[in-house]
Amino acid sequence: MECPVPQTVIAGNWKMYKTQREALAFLQAFLPLVSGVPAARELVLCVPFTALVPLADKLQGTSIQLGAQNVHWEDQGAFTGEIAAPMLVELGVRYVVVGHSERRQYFGETDQTVNGRLRAAQAHGLTPILCVGETKQQREAGQIESLIYRQLDQALVGVDPDNLVIAYEPIWAIGTGLTCETQEANRVIGLIRQRVGRPDITIQYGGSVKPGNIDELMAAPEINGVLVGGASLEPESFARIANYC
């Protein structure tokens, strides 16, 4: 019997960067630079809500998928400042980042709210990118495994692993220029894969991914893609990442 292999997913997370005008300028420069990326690599841009509409229009007919950065667990309601899955689906969004460490740290996201968001995304056919990862203190205290297993076990209750991407993002590596050693990222991602029990699930690495380290990261057997912050903001650097060797 043939074993299905994980899909490679290269995603940019723009966080709270780029107006509509800046997003369109990015795309104009970016598209020609990624025209030769193999079709087996899924490229995703997870952009601010305001950039979804103009990018959706310009991405039609390309192989680049549109992603959002959050989704609420209810389909509608009195939740000021939140966004519902049907609103994203209507715009052509395919992926949504859920449980990013910045949401957990600054906006009170918990494993329970993450779980609700994952379920709502899947219920509407979106593919969530679930972020997990430890702080420097948790790493130094030897708590990586227990922390990540807790994040996974609680977030994944009632969640379909067949429509899910996981991103291992060690918090100390995000925006710091400190990349997790490839071997260590590979090890932790292997643990995540075992815990989820699906050999074919796509698991990304995230945290200071750059043109200078992408080739080594993608050569690691457990790493099926990357979730890129800062280096996804410049067309040249994100294109180099998408065109990894």
Q: How far is the CB of 97 from ligand 13P (least distance, A)?
A: 7
Q: Are 211 and 190 in contact (CB under 8 A)?
A: no
169 an active-site residue? yes
Residue 209 engages ligand 13P in binding (rule: CB under 6 A): yes
Among 87, 174, 192, 217, binds ligand 13P (CB under 6 A): 174
When the beta carbons of 76 and 175 are compared against ligand 13P, the nearer one is 175
Count of beta carbons in the 10 Å neighbourhood of residue 55: 24
Residue 207 engages ligand 13P in binding (rule: CB under 6 A): yes
What 3-state class would DSSP assign to 205? strand
When the beta carbons of 5 and 106 are compared against ligand 13P, the nearer one is 106
90 an active-site residue? no
Q: What angle do CA 209, 26, 215 make, to 5 degrees?
A: 25
Among 99, 170, 206, 235, binds ligand 13P (CB under 6 A): 206
- Binders of ligand 13P in range 215-234 (CB under 6 A): 227-231
Q: How far is the CB of 93 from ligand 13P (least distance, A)?
A: 17
Residue 232: which of 76, 97, 79 has the closest Cα? 97
When the beta carbons of 225 and 229 are compared against ligand 13P, the nearer one is 229
Catalytic residue among 72, 100, 102, 124: 100
How far is Cα 180 from Cα 177, in angstroms, rounded to an integer? 10
DSSP letters spanning 7-74: PEEEEEE-TT---HHHHHHHHHHHHHHTTTS-TTEEEEEE--HHHHHHHHHHHTTSSEEEEES---SS
Q: How far is the CB of 12 from ligand 13P (least distance, A)?
A: 8
Residue 47 engages ligand 13P in binding (rule: CB under 6 A): no
Q: Are 11 and 67 in contact (CB under 8 A)?
A: yes
Helix (H) or strand (E) holding 195: helix 182-196
- Binders of ligand 13P in range 100-119 (CB under 6 A): 100
When the beta carbons of 132 and 228 are compared against ligand 13P, the nearer one is 228
Among 44, 96, 169, 192, binds ligand 13P (CB under 6 A): 169
Residue 93: which of 127, 43, 130, 123 has the closest Cα? 127
When the beta carbons of 6 and 230 are compared against ligand 13P, the nearer one is 230
What 3-state class would DSSP assign to 234? coil
Handedness of CA 191, 194, 198, 199 (dihedral sign): positive
Residue 208 engages ligand 13P in binding (rule: CB under 6 A): yes
Nearest-CB residue for ligand 13P: 229
* Contact footprint for ligand 13P (CB under 6 A): 13, 100, 169, 174-175, 206-209, 227-231
Q: Which residues are catalytic?
A: 100, 169
